[in-house]
Amino acid sequence: MFIGYELYVASRIIRNFRRDRSVHSHPMDTLRKALEHAFPSSKMIPLLIHDISMLYYVLWAWRKSPYLQKGSRSFHYHTQSTWLITIMILSKVLLIEGIGLHFLLMQWSGILAWIVSLGNVYLIILLIADYRAMCLNPILVSPQQIRVQYGIQLYAVIDIENIESVTRIQYKKLSKKDAKTTFLPEVIEPNIRIQFKSEFMITRLFGRRQAIDQMYLFLDDPLEFEQECSTIIQQKKDS
């Protein structure tokens, strides 16, 4: 009965995936919809999608081209940032010091040593997946929405109607109150701020859900992004 149930669930996921898939769809977006249709009330789906995304970007996405949408303008955010250098340094630290820590912990507990080592490997895979996702998922701006997949740190589809303003900024540390309803990229200092008219839900690292009213991002060309978004917002106001 258990195996039969698993086969039934798998068939639902495959059927939903094939139904939602199209020529121009993103495979992770399609998988997300398929899983949400199969398990509409499960709280584990965002975490499952997060880990599947990690494997996708590390193992299967090396020959993929950046994801684009017809009628949307793309903006990259990885070529001018220091995130690649940061990843290389962190990976080196996790690898070299992790080996030393593994042998040290083996003197007390072999199980604990392997748990820590596997955790370090998981973090290295996460860092690589995040950078690959950045390379393959530029921010897409269309007259209706902005698709933001900031590596695997953030996934959000923003309705243009809900944007109050898009401005270039010199980042200053936020108060604890403001930080609760704000997305900030890891390590990198942002140069763009998007203010929303009302709060909406985004998906963050490890599938965590958060309601935000503003978003800080780093872009390679913040001026062009600001101008493009401001033009679309103004056109919406005039129409």
Residue pLDDT, tens place only, 157-204: 999 999 999 999 998 888 888 999 999 998 889 999 999 999 999 999
CB-based contact 70:24 (threshold 8 Å) = yes
Once rounded to an integer, what is the mean pLDDT over residues 215-226?
96
CA distance 194 to 163: 7
Instruction: Tell me which residue range forms the domain holding 17.
Output: 2-42
Once rounded to an integer, what is the mean pLDDT over residues 61-65?
87
Residue 17: the pLDDT is: 63
| Three-state DSSP state, 3 | helix
Q: How many CB atoms lie within 10 A of CB 192?
A: 22
| Three-state DSSP state, 203 | strand
Residue 22: the pLDDT is: 60
User: Does the pLDDT value for residue 4 go beyond 90?
Assistant: no
How many domains are there within the chain?
2
Has residue 231 been placed in a domain? yes
User: Does the pLDDT value for residue 19 go beyond 70?
Assistant: no
CA distance 33 to 105: 43
Has residue 76 been placed in a domain? no
Has residue 230 been placed in a domain? yes
Percent of the chain with pLDDT over 90: 47
The CATH number covering residue 206 comes to 2.30.29
Percent of the chain with pLDDT over 70: 90
Residue with tokens 């997949």: 149
Residue 18: the pLDDT is: 64
Q: Binning pLDDT at 50, 70 and 90, where does residue 44 land?
A: confident
pTM, full prediction: 0.86
Has residue 153 been placed in a domain? yes
Choose between 205 and 23: higher pLDDT: 205
CB-based contact 162:198 (threshold 8 Å) = yes
For the segment 22-36, what is each residue's pLDDT rounded down to a tens digit?
A: 655 788 888 887 777
Has residue 232 been placed in a domain? yes
Beta bridge partners of 163: 196
Choose between 48 and 144: higher pLDDT: 144
Q: How many CB atoms lie within 10 A of CB 68?
A: 14
User: Does the pLDDT value for residue 227 go beyond 90?
Assistant: yes
Has residue 213 been placed in a domain? yes
For the segment 109-129, what is each residue's pLDDT rounded down to a tens digit?
A: 888 888 888 889 999 999 999
Has residue 168 been placed in a domain? yes
Has residue 31 been placed in a domain? yes
